[in-house]
């Protein structure tokens, strides 16, 4: 049996973001803090110009502790996480979860409702079946009856949330949950909040490609983000965005996939069919105030595809930018709310 070629995140970093370091010699030096979390890397840049002296080792320790808590609550890979406990629970049993897990679950359910189920955190077992979850299964294309069987337990409506005290109930014991498409965005927001509490106001936080910017990079210059061209063996900047006090998340079919017999299978699953998405949308970037929302919305729009996704964005006044495959090229498309970010220098 032919094995899949598994191309992990480290190999295929084609749709990604780069903060452009076009600093002049007189620029304020940036402080960089980097590490790993949630199976990916994080990078923080602080423009420390007028701020008090920063002890970056102490700050990194605080950030790592904060990210450690979020990962311990929301990881699909940790047996004691809220996510794993909900996934193991019996039908109709209330499972207590942390407040912040409830925040993420509540937003996830809201995005599921507005996206008509394109975003669905109960899709996890199909993610596993297709070889992208904690239990790798890269042997063969899954059998259709297995997909059908798992589809019967997918459905965000099968989860019930209660805020006080925060707890979750499933209508079927077999349902599992997976916050992989929203938790990174939440973690970005949480680190930004921590930095603000530390009296820092000019920074960029990036976790696995999801970003938030606050204040300026230096003086009156905003943070500049480059969106890379979605080609596997080429690194070039496709778009420059000037961002201030906004979050940005990108979802793409080039970052995490496997190939078999020349067919590429994405890690984003369409909850309506149980199959990895297959269309011409190569990447979608969403700009929002909250990175948690941007992250989930990017995945939802990725599932919808170029036409439905753009109609959805315009209906909900979302600022989105798409790269759509057309023959051998990538065509840019953007929603009405995205226009302020196009070709502008120092826009919000
Ligand atoms: P991308 O940045 O490409 O959207 P994310 O890391 O945000 O990727 O999310 C992808 C992960 O989300 C998958 O690995 C899987 O665990 C989960 N996932 C896949 N399909 C869906 C879906 N339709 N709704 C919610 N989560 C999904
Ligand atoms: Mg996402």
Query: Which domains does the chain possess?
Result: 3-72+182-346 (3.10.520.10), 81-170 (1.10.3980.10)
* Residue to mutate (ligand 1; options 6, 13, 268; most atoms within 8 A of CB): 268
Read off the pLDDT of residues 225-268 as tens digits, 9 standing for 90 and up.
888 777 656 667 778 888 989 999 999 866 556 666 777 778 89
Q: What is the DSSP track for 294-343?
A: HHHHHHHHHHH-HHHHHHHHHHTT-EEEEEEEETTEEEEEE-GGGGGGSS
pLDDT digits (tens, 9 = 90+) for 145-183: 999 999 999 999 999 999 999 999 999 999 999 999 999
Whether the pLDDT of residue 7 is over 80: the answer is no
164 CB contacts (<8 Å, ≥6 apart)?
Answer: none
Which segment, 97-111, 258-272, 318-332, is predicted with the most confidence on average?
97-111
Instruction: Give the ligand 1 atom nearest the CA of 208.
Output: 6
Query: Is 5 a residue whose pLDDT tops 70?
Result: no
Which pLDDT belongs to residue 8? 27
What is the residue-averaged pLDDT of the chain?
86
CA of 26 to the centre of ligand 2 (A): 37
Average pLDDT over residues 126-150: 81
CA distance 161 to 294: 22
Work out the pLDDT band at 212, boundaries 50, 70, 90.
very high
Dihedral over Cα of 25, 28, 29, 32: its sign: negative
With bands split at pLDDT 50, 70 and 90, how would you rate the model's confidence at 222?
confident
pLDDT at 17: 54
Q: Is 269 in the pocket of ligand 1 (CB under 6 A)?
A: yes
Confirm or reject: Cβ of 59 under 6 Å from ligand 1: no
Residues 196-207 have a mean pLDDT of 94
CA of 181 to the centre of ligand 2 (A): 4
CA of 124 relative to ligand 1 center, distance in Å: 9
> Which-ligand-closest: CA of 255?
1
Per-residue tokens: 138 = 């890269």
pLDDT at 188: 98
Residue 21 has pLDDT above 60, yes or no: no
29 CA distance to ligand 1 centroid (A)? 36
């Amino acid at each position: 049996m032919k094995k899949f070629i598994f191309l992990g995140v480290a190999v295929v970093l084609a749709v990604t973001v780069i903060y452009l370091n076009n600093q002049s010699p007189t620029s304020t030096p940036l402080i960089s803090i980097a590490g790993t979390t949630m199976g990916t890397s994080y990078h923080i840049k602080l423009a420390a110009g007028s701020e008090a002296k920063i002890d970056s080792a102490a700050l990194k320790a605080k950030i790592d502790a904060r990210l450690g808590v979020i990962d311990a609550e929301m990881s699909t890979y940790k047996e004691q996480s809220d996510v794993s406990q909900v996934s193991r629970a019996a039908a109709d049993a209330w499972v207590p979860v942390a407040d912040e897990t409830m925040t993420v679950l509540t937003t996830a359910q809201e995005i599921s409702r507005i996206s008509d189920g394109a975003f669905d955190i109960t899709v996890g077992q199909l993610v596993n079946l297709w070889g992208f979850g904690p239990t790798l299964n890269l042997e063969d294309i899954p059998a259709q009856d297995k997909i059908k069987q798992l589809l019967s337990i997918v459905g965000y409506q099968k989860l019930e949330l209660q805020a006080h005290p925060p707890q979750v109930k499933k209508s079927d014991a077999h349902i599992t949950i997976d916050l992989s498409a929203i938790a990174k965005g939440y973690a970005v927001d949480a680190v930004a909040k921590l930095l603000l509490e530390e009296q820092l106001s000019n920074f960029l936080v990036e976790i696995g490609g999801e970003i938030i910017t606050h204040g300026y990079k230096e003086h009156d210059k905003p943070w500049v983000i480059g969106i890379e061209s979605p080609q596997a063996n080429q690194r070039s900047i496709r778009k420059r965005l000037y961002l201030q006090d906004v979050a940005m998340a990108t979802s793409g079919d080039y970052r995490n996939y496997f190939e078999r017999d020349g067919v590429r299978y994405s890690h984003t699953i369409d909850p309506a069919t149980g199959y990895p998405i297959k269309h011409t949308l190569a990447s979608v970037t969403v700009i929002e105030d909250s990175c948690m929302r941007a992250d989930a919305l990017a995945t939802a729009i990725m599932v919808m595809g170029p036409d439905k996704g753009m109609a959805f964005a315009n209906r909900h006044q979302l600022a989105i930018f798409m790269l759509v495959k057309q023959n051998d090229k990538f065509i840019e498309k953007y929603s009405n709310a995205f226009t302020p970010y196009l070709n502008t220098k120092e826009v919000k």
